[in-house]
Structure 1
Amino acid sequence: MSTPAATSVSTESTRRRLTAQQAETVAKLTDAAVEVLRADGFDGLTVRSVAKLAGVAPATAYTYFSSKSHLVAEVFWRRLAQGVPEPDMSATPAQRVVELLRSIALIVTGDGDLGGAVTVALLGTDPDVEHLRLRIGGFIRRRLADALEVDAQNPGPVVEALEMLYAGGLVHAGMGHMSYEDTADRLTEAALLILKEHQ
């Protein structure tokens, strides 16, 4: 059974609100994109190849996704929104931040080239990717602000430092310099240093 947050993400698109049938089509496309990435990597992925695997007409696929970068960014957004829980307010602020950063770092673990593809995709200039980049950044900022019990509209230097930390860590991992598991550990260590300095 879908949670309200999962349902919201599944019916929300970069370009428009989706009907149940459209949401099902987008889900097929995003699932197929992960399979194509596993088999062919980001260089081998095309919207057309994903559409074929999903059993969707290419023209239909392009009504939802303007480019392969848009498609991969959507995969990441959905995983992030559905897989990163709200902070556990019974934990300490530091524990909440550490758990959040670990969840973000591990969201693409085990899916072959997905992490590297996400890095490339999110750095693109496609306007639909830019929209998702802002949505993703806003989501993570809100989660960090909630974890530290500060205002997301004016979160202050600690949240901003943590944003820089996770963004740099994920780019570093996406470039293949470190596994996502190791990145999660390094993010934890660095976050605790930042939080210690600002307590």
Structure 2
Amino acid sequence: MMAADLEILEKQRILDSFLKVDRYRLRHSAFNGGWVGPMNREVVARPICVAVLPYDPVADKILLIEQFRLQAHLAGLPAWQREVIAGINDKNEAIDEIARREALEEAACAVTELWPVYRYLVSPGLTTETLCVFLGRFDSESWKGGVHGLDYEHEDIRASLHDAATVPEILETGHTGNGPLILTLQWFLLNREKVRRKWR
């Protein structure tokens, strides 16, 4: 498909708060010729977000966080979500710097090397938000653990270490329905030995 296959007829911002929502009137080409539409579509406009899974290849341990999510509760899932570290690019920072900063803010974890994992659309039918995921190298021996986060953002984030050998169990019974966590841990299982060979 090309730009000529899409016509944006109208765009209107209908919510301009923490969330930005735009209403589009558009039409697009059909697979069998002709056009589909015109139609209205509402889109949550979001900048790119960045996630990082800290990994110590020597100790063979990963670091996960846990924090409260109202949206998860409202969806009927556990309100305290087990997650990978993540943050939004709302200050026009470099992607790798966001990963390192968020690791420090949410887990007091100093990440050195970054290994690109995925960049994917979080919810293609709802938002422009994409998540750029990294594996981040860190030294678990010097990490102190605890509860972290920024007070002015009302963050109360518990960080914890896990043996890499427990990842299949986490995927089987220990996740909270969190998509980025599940995708990242599945990638980790497939690529763990390759990463260890390079980082050790």
Structure showing greater radius of gyration is 2
| TM-score normalised according to structure 2 size | 0.25
More strand, by proportion: 2
| TM-score normalised according to structure 1 size | 0.25
More helix, by proportion: 1
